[in-house]
Amino acid sequence: MPKGKRYAKRTRRRPAWVGVLALLVVAAAGILRYLGVDWNTLLPAGAGAPAASQTAPEGTLQVYYFDVGQADSELICLPTGEHILIDAGTSSTQEELVRQLRSLGAETLDLVVATHPHADHIGGMAAVLEALTVEQIVMPVTSDSSTPTTQTYEALLDAIGEEGLTVTPAQAGEEIWNGGGASLQVLAPNAQSYGDLNDYSVVLRLAYGADSFLFTGDAEETSEEEMLSRGYTLNATVLKCGHHGSETSTSQPFLDAVRPQYAVISCGVDNDYGHPDQVTLDRLEAAGAEVFRTDLQGTIVAFTEGSGVTMTALGKGVEAG
């Protein structure tokens, strides 16, 4: 199957009225400017630029690990104002996620990465694509037999088509972002085909000054072994533990290579899977990593100016922004 066709379930053109509406909005904004009217005063409170308290100090990069229950969603806010979203939780938290993204000033997402097509990672992504402006979307290439036929995945492909986006296939070893002083490299998947959809997870390493962040999706031991054998730089100040802290991820050899100062586990309160596994928590403790958990502490935020990361837990039920 040719590249690009793989994800193109149905491609619909943007309806003509969308273009007309956009022109009208641009024209109205121009007239208001001509009349000396401040466009922002016409917006409802909170709909304009984020409040000063929500704006990162200059030179500061922030990473939000959202409390989205037994699911994953992380937002990188670059010091130059761009935003990168990794996963979007389930459909049950999608409205809340969109609200939080807006309150953080992420009306435009410069890059969205769907680590793998499981509902706890892409369930809220169609809603995000519809509500916000997305510039680019990256996904793993799954083998024909592994490609899901779930409604959630089909809805995401529909939304991608409706927004006129083309999926960029994740290629291990490639840099998919360089800007704002930050670089984002794809470290996995490294094989064409896996028995478990989790191992297709796009793994990303974000480097900013002396600090780095590893985002692992639900990658398990198989993928971890491949990343080790490829010889990638894996060390990271903050590790988002694979597969919600399951014992099938964050293996000892992988942890030895990552050597995280902080570990974040994204999982739901009293979840049915028993995540995080005690084995994983013990390994992290022995490695000297300080563990942060969304099920116990709500959304977790990491701040860095490139020379040391500060971690903050916002608390349960507290929205970011």
Whichever of 123 and 298 has its CB closer to Zn ion, that residue is 123
CB of 228 to Zn ion, least distance (A): 22
Whichever of 82 and 218 has its CB closer to Zn ion, that residue is 218
CB-based contacts of 105: which residues, under 8 Å, 6+ apart? Answer: 49, 50, 54, 55, 77, 81, 83, 321
Whichever of 120 and 224 has its CB closer to Zn ion, that residue is 120
DSSP string, 215-271: E-TT--HHHHHHHHHHT-----SEEE-GGGG-TTSS-HHHHHHH--SEEEE---TT-
Q: Is 172 helix (H, G, I), strand (E, B) or coil?
A: coil
CB of 72 to Zn ion, least distance (A): 6
DSSP string, 271-313: -TT-PSPHHHHHHHHHTTPEEEEHHHHBSEEEEESSS-EEEEE
CB of 17 to Zn ion, least distance (A): 38
Whichever of 161 and 268 has its CB closer to Zn ion, that residue is 268
CB of 136 to Zn ion, least distance (A): 23
CB of 93 to Zn ion, least distance (A): 13
Task: With CB under 5 A as the rule, give the number of residues binding Zn ion.
Answer: 2
Task: Select the span of 10-18, 35-43, 212-220, 253-261 touching Zn ion (CB under 5 A).
Answer: 212-220
Subset of 74-93 contacting Zn ion (CB under 5 A): none
Task: Select the span of 10-18, 215-223, 224-232, 295-303 touching Zn ion (CB under 5 A).
Answer: 215-223
Task: Select the span of 128-136, 167-175, 214-222, 283-291 touching Zn ion (CB under 5 A).
Answer: 214-222
Whichever of 120 and 305 has its CB closer to Zn ion, that residue is 120
Residue 240 sits at φ, ψ, to 5 deg, of -85, 110
CB of 218 to Zn ion, least distance (A): 4
Whichever of 120 and 295 has its CB closer to Zn ion, that residue is 120
Dihedral of CA atoms 7, 8, 10, 11 in degrees, nearest 10, equals: 130
Interface pattern 99-128 for Zn ion (x via CB under 5 A): ---------------------x--------
Rounded Cα gap, residues 6 and 4, in angstroms: 5
Report the candidate in 300, 297, 306 with the shortest Cα–Cα distance to residue 210: 306
Give yes or no for residue 277 binding Zn ion (CB under 5 A). no
CB-based contacts of 44: which residues, under 8 Å, 6+ apart? Answer: none
Report the candidate in 220, 298, 215 with the shortest Cα–Cα distance to residue 254: 220
Task: Select the span of 31-39, 217-225, 289-297, 306-314 touching Zn ion (CB under 5 A).
Answer: 217-225
CB-based contacts of 171: which residues, under 8 Å, 6+ apart? Answer: 186
Among 162, 218, 221, 277, binds Zn ion (CB under 5 A): 218
CA 227 to chain centre: 20
CB of 273 to Zn ion, least distance (A): 9
Could you give the angle at the alpha carbon of 311 between the alpha carbons of 99 and 224, nearest 5°?
Answer: 90
Whichever of 61 and 114 has its CB closer to Zn ion, that residue is 114
Whichever of 218 and 305 has its CB closer to Zn ion, that residue is 218
Residues that bind Zn ion (CB under 5 A): 120, 218
